[in-house]
Structure 1
Amino acid sequence: MVTEKNSQPNLSRRSFLLKSTQLVLGLGVVSVPTISCAKALEKRSLSFFHTRSQQELTLTYASGNAYDRKALMQVNQFLRDYQTGQVHVIDPKLLDILWAIQGEMGSKGVYEVISGYRSPKTNKGLRRSSGGVASHSLHMKGQAVDIQFSGANIDQIHQCAMAMQSGGVGYYPRAGFIHLDSGQFRTW
Protein backbone atom coordinates (compact mmCIF):
# COMPACT_ATOMS: atom_id res chain seq x y z
CA MET A 1 0.00 0.00 0.00
CA VAL A 2 1.08 3.54 -0.71
CA THR A 3 -0.16 6.30 1.53
CA GLU A 4 -0.01 10.04 1.55
CA LYS A 5 -0.65 12.32 4.47
CA ASN A 6 -3.00 15.20 3.87
CA SER A 7 -1.52 18.40 5.30
CA GLN A 8 -4.95 20.09 5.34
CA PRO A 9 -7.36 17.77 7.18
CA ASN A 10 -10.40 20.06 6.96
CA LEU A 11 -10.52 20.90 3.25
CA SER A 12 -13.91 21.71 1.80
CA ARG A 13 -15.23 19.31 -0.84
CA ARG A 14 -14.57 21.94 -3.50
CA SER A 15 -10.97 22.44 -2.32
CA PHE A 16 -10.49 18.72 -2.19
CA LEU A 17 -11.72 18.34 -5.74
CA LEU A 18 -9.49 21.14 -6.96
CA LYS A 19 -6.41 20.01 -5.05
CA SER A 20 -6.99 16.29 -5.69
CA THR A 21 -4.94 14.01 -3.54
CA GLN A 22 -2.00 12.69 -5.53
CA LEU A 23 -1.06 9.05 -4.97
CA VAL A 24 2.06 7.54 -6.44
CA LEU A 25 1.69 3.85 -7.27
CA GLY A 26 5.04 3.25 -8.91
CA LEU A 27 3.25 3.40 -12.28
CA GLY A 28 2.55 7.09 -12.38
CA VAL A 29 0.54 9.67 -10.51
CA VAL A 30 -3.14 9.10 -9.95
CA SER A 31 -5.51 11.80 -8.77
CA VAL A 32 -8.64 11.06 -6.79
CA PRO A 33 -11.13 13.84 -7.60
CA THR A 34 -14.38 12.04 -6.79
CA ILE A 35 -14.06 11.44 -3.07
CA SER A 36 -15.02 14.02 -0.46
CA CYS A 37 -12.82 14.41 2.64
CA ALA A 38 -15.37 12.71 4.89
CA LYS A 39 -15.70 9.72 2.57
CA ALA A 40 -11.94 9.53 1.93
CA LEU A 41 -11.54 7.96 5.38
CA GLU A 42 -13.83 5.04 4.47
CA LYS A 43 -12.83 1.69 3.13
CA ARG A 44 -13.68 1.55 -0.56
CA SER A 45 -15.10 -1.73 -1.84
CA LEU A 46 -16.61 -2.82 -5.14
CA SER A 47 -18.32 -5.92 -6.48
CA PHE A 48 -18.06 -7.00 -10.11
CA PHE A 49 -19.52 -9.64 -12.39
CA HIS A 50 -17.86 -10.02 -15.79
CA THR A 51 -20.53 -10.78 -18.40
CA ARG A 52 -18.03 -12.43 -20.76
CA SER A 53 -15.94 -14.57 -18.38
CA GLN A 54 -18.81 -15.15 -15.90
CA GLN A 55 -16.35 -14.42 -13.07
CA GLU A 56 -17.17 -12.49 -9.92
CA LEU A 57 -14.94 -10.27 -7.81
CA THR A 58 -15.69 -8.47 -4.55
CA LEU A 59 -12.88 -6.64 -2.81
CA THR A 60 -11.80 -3.66 -0.76
CA TYR A 61 -9.28 -1.86 -2.94
CA ALA A 62 -8.55 1.19 -0.77
CA SER A 63 -8.85 2.60 2.70
CA GLY A 64 -8.45 6.31 3.25
CA ASN A 65 -5.69 7.56 0.97
CA ALA A 66 -4.10 4.12 0.63
CA TYR A 67 -4.67 1.70 -2.21
CA ASP A 68 -4.20 -2.01 -1.59
CA ARG A 69 -1.66 -3.20 -4.17
CA LYS A 70 -2.82 -6.83 -3.99
CA ALA A 71 -6.42 -5.78 -4.57
CA LEU A 72 -5.37 -3.60 -7.52
CA MET A 73 -3.54 -6.57 -9.03
CA GLN A 74 -6.76 -8.62 -8.68
CA VAL A 75 -8.67 -5.86 -10.49
CA ASN A 76 -6.04 -5.80 -13.25
CA GLN A 77 -6.49 -9.55 -13.73
CA PHE A 78 -10.29 -9.37 -13.55
CA LEU A 79 -10.61 -6.54 -16.09
CA ARG A 80 -8.12 -8.13 -18.52
CA ASP A 81 -8.79 -8.17 -22.27
CA TYR A 82 -11.64 -10.65 -22.67
CA GLN A 83 -10.44 -11.78 -26.11
CA THR A 84 -6.67 -12.08 -25.69
CA GLY A 85 -6.38 -12.55 -21.92
CA GLN A 86 -3.80 -9.75 -21.80
CA VAL A 87 -3.58 -8.07 -18.39
CA HIS A 88 -2.98 -4.32 -18.03
CA VAL A 89 -2.81 -1.90 -15.11
CA ILE A 90 -6.24 -0.40 -14.37
CA ASP A 91 -6.26 3.24 -13.25
CA PRO A 92 -7.33 3.35 -9.56
CA LYS A 93 -9.11 6.64 -10.32
CA LEU A 94 -11.53 4.62 -12.46
CA LEU A 95 -12.32 2.46 -9.42
CA ASP A 96 -12.87 5.61 -7.36
CA ILE A 97 -15.33 6.87 -9.97
CA LEU A 98 -17.25 3.59 -9.80
CA TRP A 99 -17.21 3.69 -6.00
CA ALA A 100 -18.43 7.30 -5.92
CA ILE A 101 -21.28 6.56 -8.35
CA GLN A 102 -22.31 3.57 -6.25
CA GLY A 103 -22.32 5.77 -3.15
CA GLU A 104 -24.25 8.59 -4.81
CA MET A 105 -26.91 6.12 -5.91
CA GLY A 106 -27.09 4.76 -2.36
CA SER A 107 -26.65 1.21 -3.56
CA LYS A 108 -24.23 -1.62 -2.92
CA GLY A 109 -25.05 -3.44 -6.15
CA VAL A 110 -22.75 -5.30 -8.50
CA TYR A 111 -21.07 -3.72 -11.50
CA GLU A 112 -21.70 -5.93 -14.52
CA VAL A 113 -18.64 -5.49 -16.75
CA ILE A 114 -19.04 -5.74 -20.50
CA SER A 115 -15.53 -4.52 -21.30
CA GLY A 116 -12.55 -3.37 -19.25
CA TYR A 117 -9.05 -3.27 -20.64
CA ARG A 118 -8.80 -3.83 -24.41
CA SER A 119 -5.56 -4.56 -26.19
CA PRO A 120 -4.87 -2.57 -29.37
CA LYS A 121 -5.60 -5.76 -31.34
CA THR A 122 -9.02 -6.23 -29.69
CA ASN A 123 -9.85 -2.55 -30.04
CA LYS A 124 -8.96 -2.62 -33.74
CA GLY A 125 -11.19 -5.67 -34.28
CA LEU A 126 -14.09 -3.97 -32.51
CA ARG A 127 -13.62 -0.84 -34.64
CA ARG A 128 -13.97 -2.98 -37.76
CA SER A 129 -17.09 -4.80 -36.55
CA SER A 130 -19.05 -1.98 -34.88
CA GLY A 131 -19.35 1.77 -34.85
CA GLY A 132 -18.55 4.01 -31.94
CA VAL A 133 -15.22 2.42 -30.96
CA ALA A 134 -12.51 5.09 -30.66
CA SER A 135 -9.18 4.44 -32.34
CA HIS A 136 -7.38 5.81 -29.26
CA SER A 137 -9.81 4.38 -26.72
CA LEU A 138 -9.00 4.79 -23.04
CA HIS A 139 -9.85 1.09 -22.73
CA MET A 140 -6.37 0.49 -24.20
CA LYS A 141 -4.81 2.45 -21.32
CA GLY A 142 -6.75 0.71 -18.55
CA GLN A 143 -8.75 3.88 -17.94
CA ALA A 144 -12.21 2.81 -19.14
CA VAL A 145 -14.93 0.30 -18.45
CA ASP A 146 -18.31 -0.44 -20.05
CA ILE A 147 -20.81 -1.41 -17.36
CA GLN A 148 -24.31 -2.02 -16.15
CA PHE A 149 -25.21 -1.93 -12.46
CA SER A 150 -27.47 -4.42 -10.70
CA GLY A 151 -28.75 -1.76 -8.30
CA ALA A 152 -29.90 0.74 -10.96
CA ASN A 153 -30.86 1.11 -14.59
CA ILE A 154 -28.47 2.72 -17.06
CA ASP A 155 -30.45 5.98 -17.08
CA GLN A 156 -29.79 6.35 -13.33
CA ILE A 157 -26.10 5.58 -13.74
CA HIS A 158 -25.89 8.04 -16.62
CA GLN A 159 -27.57 10.83 -14.66
CA CYS A 160 -25.35 10.23 -11.65
CA ALA A 161 -22.14 10.16 -13.70
CA MET A 162 -23.18 13.33 -15.56
CA ALA A 163 -23.84 15.14 -12.27
CA MET A 164 -20.43 14.12 -10.90
CA GLN A 165 -18.60 15.41 -14.02
CA SER A 166 -15.60 13.20 -13.35
CA GLY A 167 -14.18 11.40 -16.37
CA GLY A 168 -15.83 10.49 -19.64
CA VAL A 169 -19.44 9.33 -19.78
CA GLY A 170 -20.74 7.46 -22.82
CA TYR A 171 -24.43 6.59 -22.95
CA TYR A 172 -25.42 3.54 -25.03
CA PRO A 173 -29.12 2.88 -24.29
CA ARG A 174 -29.67 0.58 -27.30
CA ALA A 175 -26.76 -1.62 -26.27
CA GLY A 176 -27.75 -1.33 -22.61
CA PHE A 177 -24.53 -0.04 -21.04
CA ILE A 178 -22.65 3.03 -19.85
CA HIS A 179 -19.01 3.77 -20.70
CA LEU A 180 -17.07 5.38 -17.84
CA ASP A 181 -13.47 6.48 -17.96
CA SER A 182 -10.94 8.40 -15.89
CA GLY A 183 -10.01 10.85 -18.64
CA GLN A 184 -11.20 14.45 -18.98
CA PHE A 185 -14.90 15.07 -18.37
CA ARG A 186 -16.80 14.79 -21.63
CA THR A 187 -20.00 13.13 -22.78
CA TRP A 188 -21.41 11.37 -25.81
Structure 2
Amino acid sequence: MTTDSSSGITRRGLLRAFAATTITAAPTFSNAAGFLRGSGDIRRLRMYSGRTGERIDTIYWIEGEYIGEAVAEVERFMRDWRNGQTHNIDTRTIDIMAAAHNLMDVNEPYLLLSGYRSPQTNAMLRRRSSGVARNSLHMQGQAADLRLDSRSVSQMARAAQACRAGGVGRYTGSNFVHMDCGPVRSWGR
Protein backbone atom coordinates (compact mmCIF):
# COMPACT_ATOMS: atom_id res chain seq x y z
CA MET A 1 0.00 0.00 0.00
CA THR A 2 1.41 3.37 -0.95
CA THR A 3 1.40 6.26 1.47
CA ASP A 4 1.94 9.95 0.80
CA SER A 5 4.74 10.70 3.27
CA SER A 6 3.79 14.34 3.69
CA SER A 7 0.21 13.68 4.79
CA GLY A 8 0.09 10.04 5.90
CA ILE A 9 -2.82 9.33 3.54
CA THR A 10 -2.99 5.86 2.03
CA ARG A 11 -4.27 5.21 -1.46
CA ARG A 12 -7.15 3.16 -0.01
CA GLY A 13 -8.03 5.97 2.42
CA LEU A 14 -8.02 8.46 -0.42
CA LEU A 15 -10.27 6.21 -2.51
CA ARG A 16 -12.71 5.77 0.38
CA ALA A 17 -12.88 9.50 0.95
CA PHE A 18 -13.32 10.04 -2.75
CA ALA A 19 -16.09 7.42 -2.92
CA ALA A 20 -17.91 8.96 0.01
CA THR A 21 -18.03 12.40 -1.59
CA THR A 22 -18.44 11.61 -5.27
CA ILE A 23 -21.77 11.75 -7.04
CA THR A 24 -21.81 10.13 -10.44
CA ALA A 25 -24.54 10.49 -13.01
CA ALA A 26 -26.08 7.26 -14.22
CA PRO A 27 -25.62 6.70 -17.95
CA THR A 28 -28.72 6.26 -20.06
CA PHE A 29 -29.55 3.06 -21.89
CA SER A 30 -28.40 4.67 -25.15
CA ASN A 31 -24.82 5.16 -23.94
CA ALA A 32 -24.34 1.93 -21.98
CA ALA A 33 -21.83 0.61 -24.51
CA GLY A 34 -19.82 3.84 -24.15
CA PHE A 35 -19.76 3.34 -20.40
CA LEU A 36 -18.26 -0.12 -20.85
CA ARG A 37 -15.64 1.21 -23.28
CA GLY A 38 -14.40 3.58 -20.62
CA SER A 39 -16.45 6.76 -20.84
CA GLY A 40 -17.12 6.69 -17.11
CA ASP A 41 -14.50 8.21 -14.81
CA ILE A 42 -15.37 6.01 -11.85
CA ARG A 43 -16.75 2.49 -11.63
CA ARG A 44 -18.27 1.27 -8.40
CA LEU A 45 -19.77 -2.03 -7.32
CA ARG A 46 -22.14 -2.56 -4.38
CA MET A 47 -23.29 -6.02 -3.32
CA TYR A 48 -24.19 -8.10 -0.32
CA SER A 49 -24.34 -11.84 0.24
CA GLY A 50 -27.22 -13.40 2.12
CA ARG A 51 -25.13 -16.59 2.43
CA THR A 52 -22.16 -15.03 4.24
CA GLY A 53 -23.65 -11.77 5.55
CA GLU A 54 -20.82 -9.85 3.86
CA ARG A 55 -21.17 -6.52 2.06
CA ILE A 56 -18.95 -4.81 -0.48
CA ASP A 57 -19.05 -1.22 -1.69
CA THR A 58 -15.94 -0.45 -3.67
CA ILE A 59 -14.65 1.79 -6.40
CA TYR A 60 -12.65 -0.59 -8.56
CA TRP A 61 -11.79 1.62 -11.56
CA ILE A 62 -10.76 5.26 -11.78
CA GLU A 63 -9.75 7.27 -14.84
CA GLY A 64 -9.08 4.27 -17.08
CA GLU A 65 -7.33 2.04 -14.54
CA TYR A 66 -8.50 -0.93 -12.54
CA ILE A 67 -7.52 -0.78 -8.88
CA GLY A 68 -5.91 -4.14 -8.19
CA GLU A 69 -6.67 -4.13 -4.49
CA ALA A 70 -10.36 -3.41 -5.13
CA VAL A 71 -10.64 -6.07 -7.86
CA ALA A 72 -9.04 -8.59 -5.46
CA GLU A 73 -11.65 -7.60 -2.86
CA VAL A 74 -14.43 -8.28 -5.39
CA GLU A 75 -12.85 -11.66 -6.17
CA ARG A 76 -12.82 -12.62 -2.49
CA PHE A 77 -16.42 -11.49 -2.13
CA MET A 78 -17.57 -13.49 -5.19
CA ARG A 79 -15.88 -16.71 -4.01
CA ASP A 80 -17.65 -20.06 -3.95
CA TRP A 81 -19.31 -19.68 -0.54
CA ARG A 82 -19.83 -23.43 -0.23
CA ASN A 83 -16.11 -24.25 -0.04
CA GLY A 84 -14.32 -20.88 0.16
CA GLN A 85 -12.49 -21.29 -3.15
CA THR A 86 -11.67 -18.08 -4.98
CA HIS A 87 -10.97 -17.47 -8.64
CA ASN A 88 -10.06 -14.49 -10.79
CA ILE A 89 -13.26 -12.67 -11.72
CA ASP A 90 -13.21 -11.34 -15.27
CA THR A 91 -13.29 -7.54 -15.07
CA ARG A 92 -15.65 -7.50 -18.05
CA THR A 93 -18.26 -9.20 -15.85
CA ILE A 94 -17.64 -6.69 -13.07
CA ASP A 95 -18.06 -3.87 -15.61
CA ILE A 96 -21.35 -5.29 -16.91
CA MET A 97 -22.70 -5.59 -13.37
CA ALA A 98 -21.66 -2.03 -12.50
CA ALA A 99 -22.97 -0.56 -15.77
CA ALA A 100 -26.35 -2.31 -15.45
CA HIS A 101 -26.61 -1.10 -11.84
CA ASN A 102 -25.97 2.48 -12.95
CA LEU A 103 -28.46 2.20 -15.79
CA MET A 104 -31.17 1.25 -13.31
CA ASP A 105 -30.40 4.36 -11.23
CA VAL A 106 -30.71 2.47 -7.97
CA ASN A 107 -28.82 2.79 -4.68
CA GLU A 108 -29.73 -0.67 -3.40
CA PRO A 109 -26.79 -3.09 -3.57
CA TYR A 110 -27.10 -6.26 -5.59
CA LEU A 111 -27.83 -9.46 -3.70
CA LEU A 112 -25.20 -11.88 -5.03
CA LEU A 113 -26.69 -15.35 -5.34
CA SER A 114 -23.81 -16.94 -7.22
CA GLY A 115 -20.46 -15.67 -8.44
CA TYR A 116 -17.54 -18.04 -8.89
CA ARG A 117 -18.46 -21.73 -8.68
CA SER A 118 -15.87 -24.44 -8.24
CA PRO A 119 -16.23 -27.46 -10.57
CA GLN A 120 -17.39 -29.50 -7.55
CA THR A 121 -20.15 -27.01 -6.69
CA ASN A 122 -21.24 -26.75 -10.32
CA ALA A 123 -21.47 -30.56 -10.58
CA MET A 124 -23.53 -30.72 -7.39
CA LEU A 125 -25.90 -28.02 -8.69
CA ARG A 126 -26.22 -29.84 -12.05
CA ARG A 127 -27.34 -32.97 -10.22
CA ARG A 128 -30.10 -30.92 -8.53
CA SER A 129 -31.24 -28.80 -11.49
CA SER A 130 -31.40 -29.13 -15.25
CA GLY A 131 -30.85 -25.36 -15.56
CA VAL A 132 -27.15 -25.48 -14.62
CA ALA A 133 -24.75 -25.58 -17.58
CA ARG A 134 -22.05 -28.27 -17.65
CA ASN A 135 -19.43 -25.70 -18.69
CA SER A 136 -20.92 -22.78 -16.78
CA LEU A 137 -19.14 -19.44 -17.08
CA HIS A 138 -19.44 -19.27 -13.30
CA MET A 139 -16.55 -21.77 -13.19
CA GLN A 140 -14.41 -19.34 -15.21
CA GLY A 141 -15.20 -16.33 -13.00
CA GLN A 142 -17.17 -14.83 -15.87
CA ALA A 143 -20.74 -14.83 -14.52
CA ALA A 144 -22.92 -13.68 -11.64
CA ASP A 145 -26.51 -14.34 -10.58
CA LEU A 146 -28.00 -11.21 -9.03
CA ARG A 147 -31.19 -9.88 -7.49
CA LEU A 148 -32.55 -6.45 -6.54
CA ASP A 149 -35.65 -6.03 -4.39
CA SER A 150 -36.42 -2.64 -5.94
CA ARG A 151 -36.27 -3.78 -9.58
CA SER A 152 -38.01 -6.58 -11.44
CA VAL A 153 -36.20 -9.34 -13.28
CA SER A 154 -37.32 -7.69 -16.53
CA GLN A 155 -35.90 -4.29 -15.52
CA MET A 156 -32.59 -5.84 -14.50
CA ALA A 157 -32.36 -7.92 -17.68
CA ARG A 158 -33.12 -4.90 -19.91
CA ALA A 159 -30.35 -2.91 -18.21
CA ALA A 160 -27.84 -5.75 -18.65
CA GLN A 161 -28.90 -6.29 -22.27
CA ALA A 162 -28.44 -2.57 -23.00
CA CYS A 163 -24.74 -3.06 -22.29
CA ARG A 164 -24.52 -5.44 -25.27
CA ALA A 165 -21.51 -7.05 -23.67
CA GLY A 166 -22.46 -10.62 -22.72
CA GLY A 167 -25.14 -13.10 -21.82
CA VAL A 168 -28.26 -12.21 -19.87
CA GLY A 169 -30.59 -14.84 -18.43
CA ARG A 170 -33.97 -14.09 -16.89
CA TYR A 171 -35.02 -16.42 -14.10
CA THR A 172 -38.36 -14.89 -13.19
CA GLY A 173 -39.55 -17.88 -11.15
CA SER A 174 -36.46 -17.67 -8.94
CA ASN A 175 -36.33 -13.85 -9.08
CA PHE A 176 -32.79 -13.32 -10.36
CA VAL A 177 -30.82 -12.31 -13.45
CA HIS A 178 -27.70 -14.03 -14.75
CA MET A 179 -25.06 -11.67 -16.23
CA ASP A 180 -21.91 -12.88 -17.94
CA CYS A 181 -19.18 -11.63 -20.28
CA GLY A 182 -19.54 -14.48 -22.77
CA PRO A 183 -21.10 -14.09 -26.22
CA VAL A 184 -23.98 -11.61 -26.44
CA ARG A 185 -27.19 -13.62 -26.04
CA SER A 186 -30.28 -13.78 -23.86
CA TRP A 187 -32.70 -16.40 -22.58
CA GLY A 188 -35.63 -16.85 -20.22
CA ARG A 189 -38.81 -14.89 -19.67
Give me the TM-score of the superposition, normalised by structure 2. 0.77
Q: Secondary structure at the match of 2:112?
A: strand
Question: Residue in 2 aligned with 1:63?
Answer: 62
Q: 1:132 to 1:151 in 2, by over 3 A?
A: same
Counterpart in the other structure of 2:140: 141
* Deviation (angstroms), 1:150: 4.2
For 1:86 and 1:176, how far apart are their aligned partners in 2? 26
Provide the residue aligned with 2:44 in structure 1.
45
**Residue in 1 aligned with 2:36?**
35
SS of the aligned residue for 2:174 comes to coil
Structure with a larger share of its residues in helix: 2
Which residue does 1:23 correspond to in 2?
A: none
* TM-aligned CA deviation for residue 36 of structure 1: 5.0
Match for residue 86 of structure 1? Answer: 85
**Could you say if the C-alpha distance between residues 137 and 48 of structure 1 is closer, same or farther in structure 2, counting changes exceeding 3 Å?**
same
TM-score normalised to structure 1 length = 0.78
C-alpha distance in 1 between matches for 2:59 and 2:149: 19
The match for 1:128 is: 127
Q: Give the greater-gyration-radius structure (CA).
A: 2
Q: Which runs of no fewer than 5 residues in structure 2 stay unpaired?
A: 1-29
d(CA) in 1 for partners of 2:128, 2:37: 41
Structure 2: how far apart are the matches of 1:48 and 1:91? Answer: 17
Q: Deviations over 1:51-85 (max 9, x none)?
A: 21121111111112100100111111100001111
| Distance in 1, Cα, partners of 2:35 & 2:138 | 20
CA distance in structure 2 between the aligned counterparts of 1:37 and 1:53, rounded to whole angstroms: 32
**Separation in 1 of the partners of 2:72 and 2:183?**
24
Q: Give the deviation of 1:179 after TM superposition.
A: 0.4
Task: Using the TM superposition, name which of 97-106 and 72-81 deviates more.
Answer: 97-106
